[in-house]
Structure 1
């Protein structure tokens, strides 16, 4: 919270770029795989690919909005920071994440047709997994995704070795991937790919997804992890 605004934005932008490698690898694996969604082998492969972007971001110590929905809430609950400072942190990191993801998407869409490693249909298929739901589902599933990301932020603080941190990141984020839960930052890239390459995914679909996933993620991480963990730790006795 004490970091200057430009550092937060740049770190958030870097995270938005790096996390895009997860959805990109998903499209490549979906293109190369003989199976598809619903096939257990393909689902596990895509979930593991999804986790790659989070590994790059978290091990690389870039700022990710969905981690701060838990971590940055705790100093506010403890009276060491204000809601204004929390809003500043969330806002700067979130904008950096979204703009970074959009830049990554634009770069990939521009250069990837010449590389030929992923079919455009694969990007559309991945996007439809997130937008082909009603608004209630997006919000509730977004809470679950934020809850899991909050748990990840909580567990990472207890992991001392790189291998254990990698395992925790993979376990939690692959779970988000295989459940097809809407993570606002990774999903930003997934759905934007669909907007660029699939006429069936509209800008309105993107706006609905991003707003509800973001709100759900904030509630899941802030309430179901940040508030509850802080509550039971401060009431631990002794």
Structure 2
């Protein structure tokens, strides 16, 4: 028997046909498969009616406010200690779990989902569709945050102790300079885009864990997420502690730029680069 025949035999699987099918099912999805899954999802989102995008975006703005509330609830009961943020930021992840598992339209997810179809087919039509989706979802998110913040900021909306915990984290976020929000927004955008890339390969509890750990790290790292951060800023606007202009120009706009830089210009571009020769 030749060396070639021997090598061929050694490389042949000894699994039965049914076992081979099972192996294919549990094998990790290739980057190409993940790309196609997200691209198809992006094409679906780009084709949705404006009204559907709008109301889903408003719901996401409300839903993400739970990140602020739940983190504030932890802050209210935890002692002032170096380890406290390691616990309180578990609350930050709650809002993201609700929004992502609820399939709501969150702007930062859309820094990659509709972008991959655009990279794949950079036509004028796709540019227009992507711009439309970004605009509608972002404005809808901001409206949802503004309305949720109005409720949170009302006297008596929360018990006094919990209200103070929420206000503490809102004030801390508002203290950052615009350039800091921009710089801190880039890794947050990268991490959300990475999460979107991971989800097609995750099932069941793995999906929940992926959302939990990635968004927990955004909170623990003190990074700037434009939608969650908008809720924090709008709470202070409604209470008269900062101006709307300060919220918009000092926090929301720079965080938006940072999230887009990290999510679209860094992660999405790299993700497309690794598969562009295969698609």
Bigger drift between 79-88 and 223-232 goes to 79-88
Contact 2:152 2:158 (C-alpha < 8 Å) held by counterparts: no
Indicate the residue corresponding to 1:15 in structure 2. Answer: 60
1:133 aligns with 2:189: no
1:78–1:182 distance in 2 versus 1, CA, 3 Å: same
Structure 2 equivalent of residue 123 of structure 1: 166
Q: 1:82, CA displacement in angstroms?
A: 1.5
Matches within 5 A, 1:182-201: 182-197=224-239, 199=241, 201=242
TM-score by length of 1: 0.90
Match of 2:220 in 1: 178
1:149-180 CA distance string (max 9 Å, x none): 11011111221x22111100011100100011
Say if 2:134 is the partner of 1:90. Answer: yes
Unaligned runs of 5+ in 2: 1-45
1:123–1:194: 8 Å Cα contact kept in structure 2?
no
Q: Work out whether 1:25 is the aligned partner of 2:25.
A: no
Decide which structure has the larger Cα Rg and report it: 2
**RMSD of aligned Cα (Å):** 1.9
User: Aligned partners of 1:56, 1:164: CA distance in 2, in Å?
Assistant: 16
User: Displacement of 1:78 after TM fit?
Assistant: 0.4
Query: Structure 1's 231 and 214: CA in aligned 2 closer, same or farther, altered over 3 A?
Result: same
TM-score (norm 2): 0.78
Equivalent pair of 2:72/2:167 in contact (CA under 8 Å): no
User: Paired residue for 2:151?
Assistant: 107
